[in-house]
Structure 1
Amino acid sequence: MSSSRRCLLFSLIAIAFTLPTWAQPTQQHIKHVLVIGETKGFEHDSVSSAMAAIYNMGKQSGLWDATLRTDTELLTKKKLGNNAKNLDYFDAIVFASTTGEILTDPAQRADMLSAIHDEGKGFVGIHAALDTNYTWPEYGEMIGGWFDQHPWMTFDAPIINEAPDSPIVRQFPKTFTKHDEIYQPKAWSRDNVNVLLSLDPTKLEYNNPRVHRADHDFAVAWTKMYGKGHVFYSTLGHTVEAWDDPQIRTMYFEAIKWSLGLTEASTTTHARPAQ
């Protein structure tokens, strides 16, 4: 790893966040989470904030240790030297606003999908994880779709909590507003995912050439199964300020717990709420 990347990772670990105390009543076997923050497209300022938050959540809860990387070298089953871990070591993978074609090696692609689909390792996609790997159809199938513009840019997004009983989003009220950038997904259908949060279609402006979904169905967070693997994605987390929001941090904390198999949450699809 280059000295600049080592410095970045040390800086991330040193960042202090005012996070809730994720106290656990008993000591549990610690899990291992691989956090990837590589970007080959748009570079979000919030990547460092997201990676540091996930690292600190694991340390404070005692539930996982996080390995933070700005490359994809460890996404392999191949034995690596220099004390590097591979996918056999990790229990879940987090893509923290990755962008562009970050994984092009066919063997690595197959190893990552096998780890999730066949071995049941978790996957959590944060924001621009949907703006990643467009030349890899199986990636889109795994995560649930791809980015297709953000019609309203960063705005006060009116959000509906479609799953108030889910441990991942029960901290949110039934309806609420978050100042964030909401992605419009393509190659996506709620028939293939369990929508947790969505935009309120009655409160959106549609006189916008970037609005491409005729059904006006804009999911904000969802869960799904990919074979044996638990997959979560949310578009929330575009801004640095989002990572100071305890509700959003709790959502990602609970999503990672669920992806690791530490909690139960539904992946059953459901109809769109009546408006």
Structure 2
Amino acid sequence: MKAISLIFCASLLGISFVTKAEQFNVLLFTKTAGWHHKSINGAVQAIEQLGDRHHFVVDWQEDATLINDDNLKKYHVVMFLLTSGDVLNPEQQSALKRFVQSGKGFVGIHSAADTEKDWPWFNRLVGHVFTIHPQIQTAQLNVISREFPGLAYFPDAQLWTDEWYEFGPARVNGLNYILSVDENSYDYHAQWADNIAKGMGEFHPIAWYHHFDGGRAFYTALGHKPITYQNNAFLQHIYGGIYWAATGEGISLTK
């Protein structure tokens, strides 16, 4: 009865008990027109749980028609999670471009670098384009910089098992690299018809971020295996990218 009386009195006084809205909204996009990762469903569930844990909205979609100006107005970040191939038509490409140019954020996970490879603007947004990978194997993953959020659970160097992407040269200047893989710690050789892995040499980047065309973009090549999305360190790595892309905050000023 006391609780009912309090609610009644509050309504008379115009007091609202509505909870505070989430921090920001993320459009989680997983459309594939090429390779379809079996890890997608588990990855989506993990990102949705991240949203619950860190109080942000996750809206999972595979319908590219939702990449339009009106719909994108309600989001702070568009996240390409395990996408592949040509997934957007020219109108949708233009809408995504305007979204980023308006000051919003983009996050790409793993095969986002194997998406829209014939669209130069998207290649620059992601930073590098995927070319080939060897078989899944264990290698030494190194932290390059701890200024970026989400790396607290990563040691300076560790053994990590993944699908190690080889990339072409950077498509844009100003990429800030945060993770790399030591090519001496695994066999990078692979051949797909005329596509032959050459390795990237002494510096093989795995994750990076940058300001681009008015907005912010974060990319990590980790995340092929379904079980990776049960790894708390990896999920905090992803959240660091989401948080920075959405807010522009979290960069440490300490060296």
Instruction: Confirm or deny a common fold (TM above 0.5).
Output: yes
Identity of aligned residues (%): 27
Does residue 145 (structure 1) correspond to residue 128 (structure 2)? The answer is: yes
Q: CA RMSD in A?
A: 2.1
Moved over 6 A (4+): none
Q: What residue is the counterpart of 1:194 in the other structure?
A: 176
Does residue 127 (structure 1) correspond to residue 120 (structure 2)? The answer is: no
CA contact (8 A) 1:55 1:66 kept: yes
* Distance (Å, rounded) in 1 between the aligned partners of 2:31 and 2:147: 34
**What residue identity is the alignment partner of 1:202?**
N
Q: What residue is the counterpart of 2:235 in the other structure?
A: 249
CA contact (8 A) 1:198 1:221 kept: yes
* Distance (Å, rounded) in 2 between the aligned partners of 1:166 and 1:150: 26
Does residue 91 (structure 1) correspond to residue 73 (structure 2)? The answer is: no
* Distance (Å, rounded) in 2 between the aligned partners of 1:216 and 1:94: 30
Deviations 1:163-196 (A, max 9, x none): 1343232321111111111211114269541110
Gaps of 5+ in 2: 1-18
CA contact (8 A) 2:76 2:105 kept: yes
Does residue 230 (structure 1) correspond to residue 216 (structure 2)? The answer is: yes
CA contact (8 A) 1:163 1:170 kept: no
CA contact (8 A) 1:144 1:192 kept: no
Count how many residue pairs are aligned between Structure 1 and Structure 2. 230
Q: What residue is the counterpart of 1:20 in the other structure?
A: none
Deviations 1:130-177 (A, max 9, x none): 1100121111011102111113x2111211110134323232111111
- How far residue 201 of structure 1 moved from its aligned partner, in angstroms, is 3.3
- The equivalent position to 2:119 in structure 1, one of 136, 144, 168, is 136
Gaps of 5+ in 1: 1-25, 80-85, 267-275
- How far residue 265 of structure 1 moved from its aligned partner, in angstroms, is 2.3
- The equivalent position to 2:48 in structure 1, one of 55, 64, 84, is 55
Higher radius of gyration, 1 or 2: 2
**What residue identity is the alignment partner of 2:133?**
H
- How far residue 206 of structure 1 moved from its aligned partner, in angstroms, is 5.4
Q: TM-score, normalised by structure 2?
A: 0.83
Does residue 43 (structure 1) correspond to residue 51 (structure 2)? The answer is: no
CA contact (8 A) 2:87 2:115 kept: yes
**What residue identity is the alignment partner of 1:68?**
W
